[in-house]
Structure 1
Amino acid sequence: MRVSASTSENKKPRNEKPRDEAEDLALETDLGWAIRMVSGAFSRGATASVADLPGKARGYLVLVALAGGEPPTQLALAKEVSLDRTVMTYLLDDLEAHELVTRRPDPRDRRARQVLITDTGRTRLGQVRRSLAAAEARLLTDLDDQDAQQLRTLLSRVAQTAQRELIAPDEADC
Structure 2
Amino acid sequence: MRYDVRVSASTSENKKPRAETESLALDTDLGWAIRMVSTAFRRVATDSVADLPGGARGYLVLVALAGGSEPPSQLALAREVSLDRTVMTYLLDDLEAHDLVTRKPDPRDRRARQVLITDTGRARLTEVRHSLAAAEARLLTDLGPKDTEQLRTLLARVAQTAQREVVAPDEAAC
**What's the TM-score once normalised by structure 1's chain length?**
0.89
Q: Which runs of 4+ in 1 moved over 4 A?
A: none
For 1:41, give the aligned amino acid.
A
Map 1:85-124; keep pairs closer than 5 Å.
85-124=85-124
Name the amino acid aligned to 2:62.
L
State, as a whole percentage, how many aligned pairs show the same letter: 81
Which secondary structure does the structure 2 equivalent of 1:116 belong to? strand
Name the CA distance, whole Å, in 1 between partners of 2:120 and 2:12: 68
**Cα displacement string for residues 1-44 of structure 1 (whole angstroms, at most 9, x for unaligned residues):** xxxxxxxxxxx786121011011100010000000000000000
Q: Distance in 1 between matches of 2:168 and 2:13?
A: 47
Q: Does 1:143 align with 2:143?
A: yes
CA distance in 2, matches of 1:161, 1:135: 26
Q: How many residues align?
A: 160
2:45 paired with 1:46: yes
CA distance in 2, matches of 1:154, 1:132: 20
Cα distance in structure 1, aligned partners of 2:159 and 2:108: 30
Partner Cα separation in structure 1 for residue 79 and residue 12 of structure 2? 55
Matches within 5 A, 1:1-174: 15-68=14-67, 69-169=69-169
Rounded to whole Å, the distance in 2 between the matches of 1:135 and 1:51 is 13
2:152 partner letter: R
* Structure 2 counterpart of 1:45, one-letter code: V
* Distance change >3 Å, CA 114–CA 13, structure 1 → 2: closer
Residues 81 and 170 of structure 1, relative CA distance in 2, 3 Å threshold: closer
SS at match of 2:169: coil
Q: Which moved more, 1:101-110 or 1:14-23?
A: 14-23
SS at match of 2:133: helix
Give unmatched runs, 5+ long, in structure 2. Answer: 1-10
User: Could you say what secondary structure the match of 2:127 adopts?
Assistant: helix
TM-score when normalising by structure 2: 0.89
Q: Which AA in structure 1 matches 2:48?
A: S
More helix, by proportion: 2
Q: Which amino acid aligns with 1:84?
A: D
Give 1:158 shift: 0.3
Q: In 2, distance between residues paired with 1:169 and 1:125?
A: 32
